[in-house]
Amino acid sequence: MRAKISASHIERRACVYVRQSTTAQVLHHAESTRRQYALADRAAALGWPRESIEVIDEDQGRSGASSDGRTGFARLVEGVAHGKVGAVLAVEVSRLARSSPDWQKLLSLCAVAETVVIDEQAVYDPSDRDDKLLLDIKGTMSEAELHWLGLRLIGALRSKARRGQLRVPPPTGYVWAEHGLSFDPDEAVQRAIRLVFDRYAVEPSVFAVARWARETGVLFPTCQRNPEGVSEIEWKQLGARRVYEILRNPTYAGVYTYGRRPCRATLIDGKIRRVRADGRDPSKWAVRIDDAHPAYITWETYVKNQEKLSENRLHRSKRGAPHGGNALLNGLVMCGRCGVRMTARYGKNSRPHYVCRRDHNYTTKICWSLVADPVDRSIEKLFLETMVPDELDVSLAVEQQVGAQAESLDRHWKLRIEQATYEARRAERRYKATDPDNRVVARTLEREWEERLRELEEIQAQHREARRIHRVELSADDRARIRALARNLPMVWKAASTPQADRKAMLALVVEAVALTPIDLPQRSTRVQVAWRTGATTELTVPRPEHGRCTPRMAAARVRELANKKLTDGQIAERLNRQGLQTGAGLAWTTHAVARVRARECIPCNPAPCRHPRVPDCDARGRYSVAGTAKLFGVSVHVVREWLQKGWVGADRESNVLWLTIDDATRDNLHDHLRRTAHRYPRLVLPPGKQSKRAASQKAAP
Q: Which residues are catalytic?
A: 21
Q: How far apart are CA 496 and CA 499, in angstroms?
A: 8
Q: How far apart are CA 109 and CA 452, in angstroms?
A: 65
DSSP symbols for 170-209: PPTTEEEETTEEEE-S-HHHHHHHHHHHHHHTTSSSHHHH
Specify the amino acid at residue 7.
A
Q: How far apart are CA 190 and CA 196, in angstroms?
A: 10
Q: How far apart are CA 672 and CA 66, in angstroms?
A: 83
Q: How far apart are CA 321 and CA 331, in angstroms?
A: 8
Q: How far apart are CA 642 and CA 651, in angstroms?
A: 13
- The residues, any chain, with a CB within 8 Å of residue 19's CB and separated by 6 or more, are 36, 57, 59, 60, 62, 64, 70, 72, 73, 95, 96
By three-state DSSP, how is residue 474 classified? coil
C-alpha R_g of the chain = 42
Rounded to 5°, the CA angle 680-686-691 comes to 90
Q: Is the peptide bond before 204 cis (omega within 30 degrees of 0)?
A: no
Handedness of CA 596, 599, 602, 608 (dihedral sign): positive
Q: How far apart are CA 332 and CA 530, in angstroms?
A: 10
DSSP secondary structure letter of residue 655: T
Sheet holding 368-371, edge to edge: 343-346, 352-356, 368-371
Confirm if 526 and 512 have CB atoms less than 8 A apart.
no
Confirm if 233 and 216 have CB atoms less than 8 A apart.
no
Specify the amino acid at residue 542.
V
Kindly report the three-state secondary structure assignment for every residue of 4-33.
HCCHHHHHCEEEEECCCCCHHHHHHCHHHH
Q: How far apart are CA 118 and CA 93, in angstroms?
A: 10
Confirm if 335 and 516 have CB atoms less than 8 A apart.
yes
Angstrom CA distances, 139 to 94, 131, 142, stand at: 7, 12, 5
Q: How far apart are CA 353 and CA 544, in angstroms?
A: 12
Q: How far apart are CA 579 and CA 20, in angstroms?
A: 89
Confirm if 633 and 685 have CB atoms less than 8 A apart.
no
Confirm if 72 and 59 have CB atoms less than 8 A apart.
yes
Q: How far apart are CA 583 and CA 571, in angstroms?
A: 16
Number of H helices, E strands in the chain: 25, 22
Phi, psi of 384 (to 5 degrees): -70, -30
Q: How far apart are CA 241 and CA 260, in angstroms?
A: 19
- The residues, any chain, with a CB within 8 Å of residue 207's CB and separated by 6 or more, are 240, 321
Angstrom CA distances, 278 to 192, 298, 302, 442, 642, stand at: 26, 22, 16, 53, 71
Q: How far apart are CA 412 and CA 406, in angstroms?
A: 10
